[in-house]
Structure 1
Amino acid sequence: MLVLAFDTATPAVTAALHDGARVLAESTTIDARRHGELLVPSIAEVLREAGAALGDVTAIVAGSGPGPYTGLRVGLMTAQALSSTTGAPAYGVCSLDALAYASGLTVPFVVATDARRKEVFWARYADMRTRLSGPSVDRPDDLPGEPLLVGAGARMYAGVLGEGRLVDGAPDFPLAGALAALAAEHLAALPDPAAPGGVLTAPVPIYLRRPDARVPGAPKKVTA
């Protein structure tokens, strides 16, 4: 097994290679404006560091969001393109699930990332592997008021949500090493490695908002 994973659903452009037992290489750059520029070089970097070729990859996994439209599409379209090129199956994994997995928590908590517009993308978990609800998009003060908090969205609105609920040492963004490890765990349990199952889905985006663009209506009359 050789899993190539990457995520572009947040400001973190992150890629990693996992052999089914451990992360062989990982690269992460925080830059919300350069997903398209940074992702392919990051993939090339982790392959080079691990001494692997793209043709060696047996599964491709992309974070499927939720996240802003443009960044999210970069990762998912790259996964589909690489799958077509190599023949390796491509999967999507909810980016919040990767962030939850990286937390290592065994108690209930909430993951929240920045959704802009003074809102957060969030989901509720029983532990690092078990999502109870979500993903959803809401204002910070609409989130559950008791569980621990993980993620950049929670940190941004800690004044509203409560500083004491933030988990020390948990990552702010989904990182590809955790995404790859979570995917490898589920791939090992699948009877058919080419079929989605568990947290693994088709590589399609999770959009929680309608697009900003609208089909123009009929032109207004300017004469009587």
Structure 2
Amino acid sequence: MLLLALDTATPAVTVALHDGRRTLAAADEVDARRHGELLLPAVDRVLGEAGASLGDVTGIVVGVGPGPYTGLRVGLMTATTVGAARDIPVHGLCTLDGIAYAAGTAGLEGPFAVATDARRKEVYWARYADARTRLTEPAVDRPADIAAEVGDLPAVGAGARLYADTFTGVRQDMPEHASAAALAALAAERLDSGDERGFLPPLPLYLRRPDARVPANYKVVTPR
């Protein structure tokens, strides 16, 4: 097993290579505006550090979000293109699940909440029983509207840090953004156990409709 994992659903451009037992190489860079520019060089760098090539990869793991439209599609298009070109499986995982798994690896026990920044004064979030068990579907909400649900739970992620008045149990010592190394480890664990129920299709989990709209009452110009 050699898994290439990547995630661009948060400001982090994160890539990792995992052999089913451990992370062989990883690259993480936080830049919310340069996902498309940074991702492929990061893939090349990770493969080079591990002494591997795309021809050695047996599967792709990709974070499907939730996340903003532009950044999220960079990772998903890259993952599906590589998967199709190499004829290898592409395993989608909820990005929030990856953050939860990383928090568990860092020592956080459940229950807890994970929240990332959804912009527009909103967060993407979910509640977890533990690092491997999500209790709620991923959602996008204004922090004030979910205060009763997250309460004083320990909380991780950039969204929790940004709205600490709502996420009063925010853990500053826990992961802030997605980690491809955590996604890869979680995927390897599930593949090894034969339990693939947590995998998702490699399709974007936006949770919002796109901002772009067809203009209303626009003038149609036809050639004479």
**Counterpart residue type for residue 127 of structure 1:** D
**Correspondence for 1:108 among 99, 111, 114:** 111
- For structure 1, the 5+ residue unaligned runs are 192-196
Say if 2:200 is the partner of 1:186.
Answer: no
Q: Structure 1: which amino acid aligns with 2:96?
A: L
2:163 to 157, 164, 178: 157
Other-structure match for 2:142: 139
Matched, 1:24 2:24: yes
Query: Could you report, residue by residue, the CA deviation over 1:165-199 in whole angstroms, capped at 9, with x for unpaired residues?
Result: 122421100111101000111111238xxxxx222
% identical equivalent positions: 61
TM-score in terms of structure 2 length: 0.92
Q: Measure the CA separation in 1 of the matches of 2:82 and 2:218.
A: 43
State the Cα distance separating 1:106 from its structure 2 match: 2.6
The equivalent residue for 2:206 is: 207
Tell me the secondary structure at the aligned position of residue 188 of structure 2: helix
Match of 1:123 in 2: 126
State how far apart, in whole Å, the 2-side matches of 1:168 and 1:156 are. Answer: 11
Question: Counterpart of 1:194?
Answer: none
Cα drift, residue 146 of structure 1: 2.9
CA displacement at 1:134 relative to structure 2: 2.1
Q: CA RMSD in A?
A: 1.3
Distance 1:185 1:213, change over 3 A: same
Letter of the structure 2 residue corresponding to residue 22 of structure 1 = R
Partner residue of 2:91? 91
Q: Is the 8 A contact 1:141 1:161 kept in 2?
A: no
Which blocks of at least 5 consecutive residues in structure 2 are unaligned?
Answer: 220-224
Q: Given residue 155 of structure 2, which amino acid in structure 1 is its aligned partner?
A: L
Report the TM-score when normalising by structure 1.
0.92
- The question of 1:57 aligning with 2:57 is answered yes
Cα deviation, 1:94-128, whole Å, max 9, x if unaligned, reads 00000000001332001000000000000010000
Deviation at 1:219, TM superposition (A): 4.3
